Amino acid sequence: MGRETDRLQGTLDLLVLKTLDSKGTLHGYGITVQIQQVSKEMLRVEEGSLYPALHRMAEEGWISAEWGVTENKRRARFYSITRAGRERLREEEANWQRVTAAVALVLGQA
Amino acid sequence: MSLLRRLERVLRPDRHNAEIDEELAFHLAMREEERRRDGLSEEEARRAARLQMGNPVAQREATHEAGIARWLEVLLQDLRYAARVLARTPALTAVVVASLALGIGANTSIFSLTYALLLRSLPVQNPGELYALTVVQPAGSGFPAMVEGNDAVTYAMWEGVRQRQQTFSSMFAWGPAALESAEGGESRPVQGAFITGDTFPTLGVGPALGRLIQAADDRTGSAPVAVLAYDYWARAYGADRGVLGRALILDGKSFTIVGVTPEGFQGLEAGAAFDVAVPLAQEPALRGRNSALERRNHFWLGVAGRLKPGVSAAAASGQLRSISAGVMEAARPDDFRSDWAESFAKQVLAPEPLSGFYSFAREKLRTPLLILMGAVVLVLLISCANVANLLLARTAARRPEMALRVALGASRGRVMRQVLTESALLSLAGAALGLAFAPMAARLLLQAFSPASATVSLNVRPDGTVLLFALGVSVVSALLFGSAPAWRASMSAPQTGMRVAAGAAGHGRLQASLVGGQVALSIVLLTGSVLMLTSLRHLMKAELGFQPEGVLLVDVEFPDRVVGPEQRAAFEESLLEALRRSPGVRSAAATAVTPLSGASMQMPATVQDLDGQQRQVHSQFHYVTPGYLETLRTALVAGRDFAAGDTATAPKVALVNESFAKRAFPGKSPIGRQIVTRIGLSPNGVTPVREEIEIVGLVRDAKYRSMREEPQPTFYLPIAQRKEPLRSVSYVLRSEGPAELLTSGVRAAAASLDPRLTFTARVFSTQIREATLIERFVSSLAAVFGGLALLLAAIGLYGVLSYQVAQRKGEIGVRMALGATPGDVRRWVFRHLGPTLAAGVALGVCGSYLAGLAARGLLYGVAPGDWKPYTWSVALLAAVVVAAGWLPARRASRLDPITALRHE
């Protein structure tokens, strides 16, 4: 797996984990809506990579998945964050802070 | 996610995919709704949602694979890491892999034997429909063991069954035939089989070459044809495809080779494959007046058949039961005594699945094989305990590493998984190594199992089942020896683990109980091998009643084409004379059956006391020439031996053994009394001939059929006064030197009479060794396994004690500082293990007793309850414990208290 995808994936992971951490249990569609709203429509989740990411993270044990029923009585798969997921989230957040701080430093110097 | 779920995903992706589809469909529907709310028409909304989503199939694929790819990736990571870890400690890894290879390899080789002999199905079509015919004798049957193998039937019985049965779509019969093939002037024995024409069609076996025997071949007057077994074709003809149409001379009669059986078809009975099969209809032509077809007292055919479609075994059983009386009535041997005839008539026919063959060899080897299977399982358990102990010690050493991983966020499950992966890798490496030597070991075992006189041919090539077994064993072993270290590793809490070597009392307890288990298992194996060795010693010491050393046994066949029936007696006599004259022969005699060959002639004898009272004694009997007793050195207690004057026309005489005398004439001398007996059939072959025989001598009891038999009532008759023809005669020669030296003289003597005579010579003491083959085999293997167990237990013990001494350096230092002498310290080290060892020994003794009960059939002169074997094994183990503990104990007692305390 290349570096590039790693970082991109890391970003998506970070967003998904953060969303689930603050909003509790959500289905995939709910996650995209939530990220869009919170980012004031700035960030739009690429749907082609959302579900693979969700399944991969479930496999890692960061999030857990369960079938449930929505308000309008439709079957959907709901995701929530696990303890391991929260730890992961903290790491990713710290990483992100470091990276953006570093980028800011570089930009400031230029 | 559980492993099971995950495997299901890999193996049954459709179900997982359906879940993903549903999830994606939901997403799409939500997106559509959103677009509609934005004001798009239904159609436009759907299109927009689709566009945003992308190709649904590609989506599903990517999602499905994200899960699995990740899993495989982690697995590979674990494997790479495990390989690196194991490579870091090559010595430990080598020891572990080697001991697992021993355990798994031993299990696999014994299993492949057991499997080939007891479980492997016939390579035929739908073996589940094939049933063999068995004959159930009524309880308390007066039917003596005149019959070799209970399920053999006479030709008349086979005819009766074939005509009356309605539940089999077809049936077939086969019988063994010891034949001689002559090609290019050289003659050699081949294992033949007489089979009926339906045999191959019923089994559903096709030819590898040419054609197999068909119904048309099995008629009187059909051209004589023969079919070769694949192995024999490969062995004797180098798999030459040109054999078809060639002539094969069997017992002087020419057969045309028409085909070869497929590879892997090992005949109809396990352990007794045939080389050449010929139609049963050719039997009279081959055996001439010895033909068994018309003999109603010759039980020699095996019968089997394929059930009609839809017919259950229960239905077949009922139908066979209902025709039994009719079959027996029609086939009743006319010369049977009335009570035998009654038992014969009450016999019931029953079907038995043929899918895992039945045979004499199988019955004989079943117990020893199962015992060996048990023994190798014990060895495997012991080596697992050992490996677990070694890995536990290593886990202790790796605590800091594990603690670090936990601190870095690895979950407990993740750590366990890593350690179990290492165990699995070790186990698979062990299995691979074990599998490399298992087939060779199995072949060697098979050779050791087989007496020189009869090759036991079995297919022991490892196939899918054997591989699966080895894989299963290695997985189970990995779980057995890997779970304790994995659990232990997962308990590495970061805080305590990072401080090296905290007190590990609990750890020691686990290791100690593993050693206790090893001790128990070793005691079982040791006691077992002592029991077997004791039995063997008793068997070898058993009073035989003759002296086999320096005796050569020569079996001679007298085919009709060489000697006609009329010249037979004179011919035998002149051969005996020629043998007596050959160099190095001290004395010689002839007999119909040599002792300890597994066969005996038996008949009921009616004896007449002086007061005219009659008594019946079921006896074994021998036909011998004068000089037999002298040659074998069986003592004559009273009366006289046979003499040259006891000819066919002289008054009939007999010798009896002590058991016979005791049974027939309790407390009185048998000399001068009479035996009234059925000695044969009248020339019409129907009416039994009875005659009175005078007992002229009393001899010591001697073993006849087998080493294990108790002395049986036995009488001897002069071979010259025999009534029935003997197919073969054996000569016993006592040599002045080693028995082997006589062979060339025997060859010259036989050739001087007729160069076409064939004979086989056996050294009597070799035959005795073969008679105890199974006992030798099992006891030597048991001894090997016992030794292996001891070695493994010693290694385990040494490891545990060394570990504990290292762990408790501080404590030892304190003790020494407080004035403990080196002797005190040594005792302390040993005392520490006392309870574990005591518990192990107690468990082991109980286990041995149970094992002894299970193996009772193989014991001789020793019972599972005898205390001596236990004493031996416990004493041996104690010696090993002391030896294994000595080094660590000495190391402990030589510790410098100051250094030891500083270490703490």
Judged by CB atoms closer than 8 Å, whether chains meet at B62 and A52 is answered as: yes
* B-chain residue closest to A69, CA distance: B26
Facing B66 at nearest CB: one of A52, A87, A91: A52
- Which range of B349-353, B656-660, B886-890 scores highest in mean pLDDT? It is B656-660
The answer to whether the CB atoms of A75 and B54 lie below 8 A apart is no
Q: Is B11 on the interface with A (CB under 8 A)?
A: no
In this structure, the answer to whether residues B65 and B134 fall within a common structural domain is no
Residues B649 and B734 in one domain: yes
Per-residue pLDDT at B679 exceeds 60: no
Q: Which of B457, B703, B700, B699 is nearest to B599 (CA)?
A: B703
The answer to whether residue B134 scores a pLDDT higher than 90 is: no
pLDDT at B71 over 80: no
Measured between beta carbons, the chain A residues lying within 8 angstroms of B20 are 51, 55
Return the closest-CA partner of residue B422 out of B796, B84, B54: B84
Residue B591 β-bridge partners: B624, B730
Tell me: pLDDT of A110 over 80. no
Tell which wins on pLDDT, B782 or B459.
B782
Give residues 16 to 75 of A whose Cβ lies within 8 Å of B. 27-29, 47-49, 51-56, 58-61, 74-75
The shortest C-alpha distance from A101 to chain B (Å) reads 24
Cα separation, B369 vs B840, in Å, equals: 27
Cβ of residue B1 closer than 8 Å to a chain A Cβ? yes
DSSP notation for B754-768: -TT-EEEEEEHHHHH
Partner residue opposite A56 with nearest CB, options B52, B66, B409: B66
pLDDT confidence band for B502 (50 / 70 / 90):
very low
- The reported pLDDT for the residue numbered B92 is 77
B29, B65, B70 member nearest A60 (Cβ): B70
- Contact with chain A for residue B66, Cβ under 8 A: yes
| Total CB pairs under 8 A between chain A and B | 67
Asked if A51's CB is within 8 angstroms of B30's CB, the reply is: no
Provide the pLDDT for residue B220. 86
User: Can you give the residue range of the structural domain that contains B247?
Assistant: 127-355
pLDDT digits (tens, 9 = 90+) for B230-256: 878 887 887 888 889 998 888 888 899
pLDDT for B505:
43
Q: Are residues B520 and B441 in the same domain?
A: yes
> Cβ neighbours of residue B456 under 8 Å, at least 6 residues apart?
B271, B272, B361, B446, B449, B450
In terms of CA atoms, which chain A residue is nearest residue B24? A51
Confidence of residue A60 (pLDDT cuts 50, 70, 90): confident
Q: Where are the alpha helices (DSSP H) in B193-312?
A: 199-203, 230-237, 283-287
CB of B23 less than 8 A from some CB of A? yes
In a domain, residue B650? The reply is yes
Residues B508 and B563 in one domain: no
Residue B461: predicted pLDDT? 64
pLDDT digits (tens, 9 = 90+) for B169-182: 999 998 888 787 77
Burial B544-574 (b: 16+ CB within 10 A, else e): bbbebebbbbbbbbbbeebbeeeebbebbee
What would the 3-class secondary structure string for chain A be? CCHHHHHHHHHHHHHHHHHHHHHCCEEHHHHHHHHHHHCCCCCCCCHHHHHHHHHHHHHHCCEEEEEEECCCCCEEEEEEECHHHHHHHHHHHHHHHHHHHHHHHHHHHC
- DSSP 8-state code for residue B449: H
User: In this structure, is residue B515 part of a structural domain?
Assistant: yes
Tell me which chain A residues have a C-beta less than 8 angstroms from the C-beta of B23. 28, 51, 76-77
Asked if B53's CB is within 8 angstroms of A47's CB, the reply is yes
Cβ of residue B27 closer than 8 Å to a chain A Cβ: yes
| CA-based nearest residue in chain A for residue B31 | A29
Cα B290 to Cα B560: distance, rounded to the nearest angstrom: 10
The answer to whether A48 contacts B23, with C-beta atoms less than 8 Å apart, is no
Q: What is the 3-state secondary structure (H, E, C) of B115-140?
A: HHHHHCECCCCCHHHEEEEEEECCCC
Q: What is the count of structural domains for chain A?
A: 1
B23·A28 Cβ contact <8 A? yes
Does position B345 have pLDDT exceeding 90, yes or no? no
* Residue-number span of the structural domain to which A34 is assigned: 3-109
Q: How would residue B330 be classed by pLDDT, with cut points 50, 70 and 90?
A: confident
Per-residue pLDDT band at B731 (split at 50, 70, 90): very high
B577 and B664 assigned to the same domain: yes
Q: Is B883 on the interface with A (CB under 8 A)?
A: no
What pLDDT, on a 0 to 100 scale, did the predictor assign at position B227? 93
Task: Please give the residue that has the higher pLDDT: either B819 or B322.
Answer: B322
DSSP conformational letter for B542:
S
Task: State the average pLDDT over residues B525-531.
Answer: 87
The answer to whether B59 contacts A51, with C-beta atoms less than 8 Å apart, is yes
CA distance A107 to chain B (A): 33
B351 and B366 in one domain? no
Asked whether residue B97 is domain-assigned, the answer is no
Q: A74, B53: Cβ pair inside 8 Å?
A: no
Residue B277 reports pLDDT greater than 70: yes
Residues from chain B contacting residue A82 (CB–CB below 8 Å): none
Average pLDDT value for residue range B128-138: 80
Q: With an 8 Å Cβ cutoff, is B52 touching chain A?
A: yes
| B518 within a domain of the structure (yes/no) | yes
pLDDT, tens digit (0-9, with 9 covering 90-100), for B478-488? 888 888 888 87
The three-state secondary structure class of B666 is coil
B800/B651 same-domain check: no
The pLDDT of residue B13: 67
Question: How far A51 CA lies from chain B's nearest CA (Å)?
Answer: 6
Does residue B842 form part of some domain? yes
Q: What is the pLDDT at residue B665?
A: 86
- Residue B589 domain-assigned? yes
- Tell me the C-alpha distance between B734 and B742, whole Å: 9
Q: Which of B71-75, B114-118, B840-844 has the highest mean pLDDT?
A: B840-844
Shared domain check, B495 and B387: yes
Of the listed ranges B252-261, B608-617, B653-662, B825-834, the least confidently predicted one is B608-617
* Ramachandran bin of B210, using left for φ above 0, alpha for ψ from -120 to 50, beta for the remaining angles: left
pLDDT of residue B115: 76
Query: Which residue, B667, B794, B659, is CA-closest to B716?
Result: B659
Probe site for chain B from A1, A34, A51 (most B CB atoms < 10 A): A51
Q: Are residues B48 and B80 in the same domain?
A: yes
Instruction: Compute the CA torsion angle B587, B592, B597, B601 (nearest 10 deg).
Output: -140
User: Mean pLDDT score of chain B, rounded to an integer?
Assistant: 80
Residue of B nearest to A53 (CA): B66
Confidence of residue B164 (pLDDT cuts 50, 70, 90): very high
pLDDT for the residue A19: 92
Which of B88, B104, B119 terminates a domain? The answer is B88
β-strand partners of B247 = B256
Whether residue B26 and residue A29 make contact (CB cut-off 8 A), yes or no, is yes
Single-letter amino acid code for the residue at B258: V
Chain A interface mutation, best of B1, B2, B30, B415, highest count of A Cβ atoms under 10 Å: B30
Count how many domains chain B has.
4
Same domain, B506 and B653: no
pLDDT for position A2: 36
Tell me, yes or no, if A86 comes closer than 8 A to chain B by beta carbon.
no
Percent of chain B with pLDDT over 70: 85
Q: Which of B355, B390, B410 is the last residue of a domain?
A: B355
Q: What integer is the mean pLDDT of B628-655?
A: 91
DSSP state of B685: S
The structure tokens listed for B317 are: 């059983």
| pLDDT bracket for residue A1 (50, 70, 90) | very low
Poorest-pLDDT segment among A21-25, A48-52, B377-381, B577-581:
A48-52
In single-letter form, the type of residue at position B825 comes to V
- For residue B612, pLDDT beyond 80: no
Contact A29/B31, CB-based, under 8 Å? yes
* Residue of B689, B687, B695, B688 whose CA lies nearest to B621: B695
The answer to whether position B495 is within a domain reads yes
Please provide the DSSP assignment of B250-266 as one string: ETTEEEEEEEEPPTT--
A6 CB near a chain B CB, below 8 Å? no
Structural domain ending residue among the three candidates B88, B115, B135: B88
Q: Using CA atoms, how far apart are residues B409 and A87, in angstroms rounded to an integer? A: 8
Distance (Å) from the C-alpha of residue B502 to the closest C-alpha of chain A? 28
Of A59, A76, A84, the CB nearest to B67: A59
Average pLDDT over residues B840-853: 88
Is B521 contained in some domain? yes
Per-residue pLDDT averaged across A81-107, rounded? 87
From A29, A48, A56, residue closest to B30, measured CB to CB:
A29
Task: Report ipTM for this prediction.
Answer: 0.79
Which positions in chain B touch A47 (Cβ < 8 Å)?
A: 27, 52-54, 59
What is the DSSP code (8-state) at residue B311?
-
Identity at B96, one-letter amino acid code: V
Question: DSSP letters of B143-197?
Answer: --S-SSSTT-B-HHHHHHHHHH--SEEEEEEEEEEEEEEEETTEEEEEEEEEE-T
Any A CB within 8 A of B65 CB: yes
Chosen from A9, A46, A56, A87 to mutate, greatest number of chain B CBs within 10 A: A56
Structure confidence at residue B655 (pLDDT): 94
Interchain pair B54, A48: CB under 8 A: yes
Same structural domain, B798 and B862: yes
Distance CA B280, CA B289 (A): 15
Residues B618 and B673 in one domain: yes
Query: Taking Cα atoms as reference points, which of B499, B503, B487, B483 lies closest to residue B404?
Result: B499
pLDDT at residue B497 above 80? no
List the structure tokens of B192.
């033949």
In CATH, what number is assigned to the domain containing residue A57? 1.10.10.10
Averaged pLDDT for residues B64-75: 73
Chain B residues in contact with A27 (beta carbon < 8 A): 26-27
B585-591 and B225-228 strand pairing: unpaired
What was the pLDDT predicted at B149?
44
